[in-house]
Amino acid sequence: MKKALALLLVLYALFQLPASSLYFETGITGVSSGPLGFGMGLFPLGTSFEYYRHLSMIPSLDKARLNLSVSFSFTEKEIDKYDAVTGKPWWSGEPVNEWKTGNGQYFKAASSFDLYLGQGFGRSINGKDPLTEIRLGFHTAFQNAKESLTLSQSASSFQPLFVDGSGNAAYPFDGTLLYGTPWLMGSRDAWNSYMYIKSIWNFRKSTGAGDAYDGAYAEATCYYGPRWLFNQGMGVPVSDFAKLEAIAEEYITIFTSKQKNGWNWTNLFLGHYNELSYIFGDTVPPEMLNLDHLRGSFIDRLYIRFVGPQFIASDCFTYIELGFTNRLLFGNAMNDSSASYKALEYRSAFDGIFHMRLFGFIRIEYRFEYSMANGLEAIKPHWSQDASLRFYVSL
């Protein structure tokens, strides 16, 4: 109830700002698929959507944007490979209790709420977007872990994860402090919140459909989720962290050609992407955890994208992308009570994407990847692939 009141107070305070438009617009930004086996994999279950409005905060500048995003999803998830009690990582080389019974799966219901106020300054080289934008945001997320849906499908598969055969909470989910997975403590209802400030720099211009650009783009973000920000539960924080993140991306057009109506015929460009991030703090919420729970991450990606002609409508097109990604993960393990495990790992992969967008409404994507270096995982280079169909509306 306190959280509800706090959210309403934040909303109320923001609505008191002078408004040039009193009505929100809305967009559905993604529809996720449901748990395994739901509707033959064709029916969506889970949606993210956003409301926004524009506010004239400083008359000489562009209007600010107040953006509210809400999402929910339901999925089946496998329990982490880390020690739930101590957070000892699976790659420590020491025995780790995985607390896994049956197939180790549980049902995860999740919702989130994100509110930011963004103000643009200056004018980018495209003459339309601001040169830089500052965003101040607040994010809160809820997740609830329940026994797997598969548990109640057959008497023979009754192997609950969180309770014992008599329905009582099983160790370590019986109130034991879980440094490794604090979101699975107690009732397994977990809220975590953070604030963020993001700075976006825009030196790029669009050269056609398919997110084709020429120029450069950069952003720097600081996320801060201290324990006093609604992050205290069961006597220990469910979140207490800070994250610094910097992203830079550059684009060089190789060739581009247009149809008579201004639509794209073909477009080929080279892109280069860098991301550097580091996470501080004793307790990091699940959506912020890096691969292998390492605090530092550096990504370098070089790619080439060929965008085909727009057909039927401006938002109908395909693109093919080939990329080479190198990733360095480093530092201490997160959510580890001993704070004594550290590692450095290198991953690299060659990948390809086939993307089809229909009417701005449907996105079909097929990805393949050849992983050459797999960091701490003792596996050989291998191929993998996946495909997805998503409903998506962007404004």
Partner 1 sequence: MRKTLLLLILAVSLPLHAIGFGYHVLEVRTEADLASGILPSSVVYQFDFPVPDLLSPSLTGLSFRLDNGLEYRTLMQNPDNGEHYALHPVSYPRTYTVLFDHFSLFFKQGFFHQVFTSKDLVTAKAAIEGRFESAFERLGWLSGGGEMEGLFWTADHTERFLSSSFIGAPELSGNRMMLDTSIALTLEIDYMRKKETERDGVLFSSSFRYSPPFMPLSDKKCDFLTLESCLSLSYTPFAWKRSNGFCNLSLVFDLDISERMAIGKAVPAYALSSSIWGTKAPNSSQLLSLHAALTLYGPQLASEDFHPSVSFFVDYALAFGHELNSSDGRGVLESVSSYGFEAEYSLFGIGTVFYRIGCVFDPCYNEDAYAAQSYGVSLAI
Name which of residues 340 to 359 contact partner 1 (CB under 8 A): 358-359
- The token pair at 10 is 């934040």
Select from 72, 22, 71 the least CA-distant residue to 50: 71
Q: Which is nearer to partner 1, 45 or 248 (CB)?
A: 45
Token code pair at residue 316? 């109908």
271 contacts 303 by C-beta, under 8 angstroms: yes
In 221-235, which positions are buried (b, 16+ CB within 10 angstroms) versus exposed (e)?
A: bebebbbebbbebee
Q: Are 196 and 224 in contact (CB under 8 A)?
A: yes
Distance between CA atoms of residues 77 and 100, nearest Å: 12
* Among positions 20, 39, 254, 373, the unique one binding partner 1 when judged by CB under 8 A: 39
Site membership for partner 1, residue 38 (CB under 8 A): yes
Q: Is 173 in the site for partner 1 (CB under 8 A)?
A: yes
Q: CA-to-CA distance for 303 and 325, rounded, in angstroms? A: 8
Q: Taking CB under 8 A as the rule, does residue 15 contact partner 1?
A: yes
Told to check if 360 binds partner 1 by CB under 8 A, we report yes
> Segment near partner 1 (CB under 8 A), from 97-105, 163-171, 244-252, 331-339?
163-171
Query: Distance (Å, rounded) from C-alpha 319 to C-alpha 351?
Result: 14
Task: Kindly tell me which residue out of 57, 268, 356, 393 binds partner 1, with binding defined by CB under 8 A.
Answer: 393
Q: Name the segment binding partner 1 (CB under 8 A); options: 6-14, 302-310, 324-332, 371-379.
A: 6-14
- Is 67 a binding residue for partner 1 by CB under 8 A? The answer is no
Cα separation, 149 vs 147, whole angstroms: 7
Q: How far is the CB of 63 from partner 1 (least distance, A)?
A: 17
177 lines the binding site for partner 1 (CB under 8 A): no
By CB under 8 A, is residue 60 in contact with partner 1? Answer: no
- Site map (CB under 8 A) of partner 1, residues 106-145, x = contact: ---x-xxx----------------------------x-x-
Q: How far is the CB of 244 from partner 1 (least distance, A)?
A: 28
- DSSP-derived secondary structure letter, 4: H
- Of the listed pieces 182-190, 192-200, 297-305, 378-386, which binds partner 1 according to CB under 8 A? 182-190
Beta-carbon count within 10 A of 110 CB: 19
Residues numbered 235-294 forming contacts with partner 1, rule: CB under 8 A: none
